Structures are given as C-alpha cells and as structure tokens.
A and B are shown apart, each in its own frame.
Chain A
Amino acid sequence: DTAVSQTPKYLVTQMGNDKSIKCEQNLGHDTMYWYKQDSKKFLKIMFSYNNKELIINETVPNRFSPKSPDKAHLNLHINSLELGDSAVYFCASSPPGSFSGNTIYFGEGSWLTVV
C-alpha cells in the first residue's frame, strides 16, 4: 500500500485554468504538507495543515488554496494557473508528535506543466 499518494502524477493544462491535485495518506498522521519543487530542485514549503490548523507560507499566492475534507486528505487547488506555476508539487505527512522528531513521508509528486 502506498503511504502517501497523489493524483494526478502528470498534469498539462492551459494558462488561466483551475486545477486540483489530490493527496491522501493512510498512515494516520496528523500533519500534512504541500511542497513545490522548482526546476533547480529547491523544495519550498507551501502549506502545513495540523489538526485543522493551517500554516501558510506568506509567499504563496492566494490563487493556491489547500482543502482538507478530513485528516487523511489534503488537496491543493490552484486558480488561474500561470506559466510560473509549472513545477513538481509534493504532498507529505508526518505522525503525531512530529515536532518531537518523527520522520516525514513524501508522495511521488505531481508534475504540473502550464502551457
């Protein structure tokens, strides 16, 4: 069983469209994250969601919004897509007490290309 799964794996879409990337974890973790990895491999945190507390990286445009229907899911919705949004988006999760030092688990990534 995949611990952290993301769909779709590949997404090609036109500028101006709205799209969502789904993430599910079956590990019972309390905290989930969305990261963006640019062409230079830099992993930048976008959101952290822990027990209904959302921590937003202030540099993330408000066109990006996380949606968590329950503890096992954290979806990423993107409005009015721009060329610069092209990147790999990674979902991740970590267990309770993550701040006391537990490992973080990543999904396989979603490759978004905006044309």
Chain B
Amino acid sequence: KQEVTQIPAALSVPEGENLVLNCSFTDSAIYNLQWFRQDPGKGLTSLLLIQSSQREQTSGRLNASLDKSSGRSTLYIAASQPGDSATYLCGLSGGSYIPTFGRGTSLIVHP
C-alpha cells in the first residue's frame, strides 16, 4: 500500500524567499507524481506533473523533481509571493494504485 508523507506540514516565510516542499513515498513503482495547489474553500489545481521516466518539470517559478529510487519529490518555489499562500499537495498514481495523496503543506507567505 502506497503511503505519501509531506514535510513540513506548515510553513510561514517572508516574501522573496526560495522554498522547498518535500514529498516522500513508500513504493517507487509509480507512473507519475503530481503537485497540486489548494486555496481555502477551493478545489485542487494541478501545478506540475512528472512522469516516472522524468526527473523534473518546470513551470515559471516552480520546479518539481522526482527521485524514484529514494522515494522523494521536491517542489521548489523561487522568489515566493503572498499569492503563493495555499496548501500544496503531492499525489501519486499509476499501476494498480488509485491516486494517493499526502496531507499537504500549508504555506503562508507574508509581505
């Protein structure tokens, strides 16, 4: 059974800092890993999708990496802004798995 852990659970930083959010998983037999953003009272918005054959994906100030051998992914946020404040979730899917999610990292970026 796949288990996904996200560290830290919460993070509060001043604007402009570079951030790293961590996601670890117990079974490396995945097909993809996806990072989502969830704003309060809203649904999940997909940020980045990394296929199992890929090592990283980039979109604007966001960069996600995947290391299947160590069961880890990181989401790097450059030059954080108050608008980045949200909960970030990591989800894995593929094979016989139903997409499985971590509990998220709650991020606050203060001006």
- Taking a contact as CB atoms under 8 Å apart, the answer to whether A103 and B103 are in contact is no
Q: Closest approach, in angstroms, between the C-beta of B23 and any C-beta of chain A?
A: 13
Q: Closest approach, in angstroms, between the C-beta of A82 and any C-beta of chain B?
A: 23
- Please report the C-alpha to C-alpha distance between residue A94 and residue B42 in the assembled complex, in whole angstroms: 19
Which residue of chain A is the closest to B45 with respect to CB atoms?
A: A106
Q: Chain A residues with Cβ under 8 A from B52's Cβ?
A: 101
Interface residues on chain A, number (Cβ under 8 Å): 26
**A66 contacts partner chain B, Cβ-Cβ < 8 Å:** no
- Taking a contact as CB atoms under 8 Å apart, the answer to whether A98 and B89 are in contact is no
Interface residues on chain B, number (Cβ under 8 Å): 28
- Taking a contact as CB atoms under 8 Å apart, the answer to whether B93 and A104 are in contact is yes
- Taking a contact as CB atoms under 8 Å apart, the answer to whether B98 and A48 are in contact is yes
**A105 contacts partner chain B, Cβ-Cβ < 8 Å:** yes
Q: Chain A residues with Cβ under 8 A from B31's Cβ?
A: 99-101
- Please report the C-alpha to C-alpha distance between residue A36 and residue B32 in the assembled complex, in whole angstroms: 22
Q: Chain A residues with Cβ under 8 A from B22's Cβ?
A: none
Which residue of chain A is the closest to B89 with respect to CB atoms?
A: A43
14 sampled A-B residue pairs with Cβ under 8 A: A41-B87, A41-B89, A41-B104, A42-B103, A43-B89, A43-B91, A45-B98, A90-B44, A94-B93, A101-B31, A103-B32, A106-B36, A106-B43, A106-B45
- The 4 A-B pairs at the shortest CB distance, nearest first, are namely A101-B32, A101-B31, A43-B101, A108-B43
- B-contact 0/1 string along A55-84, CB 8 Å cutoff: 101000000000000000000000000000
- Taking a contact as CB atoms under 8 Å apart, the answer to whether A104 and B43 are in contact is no
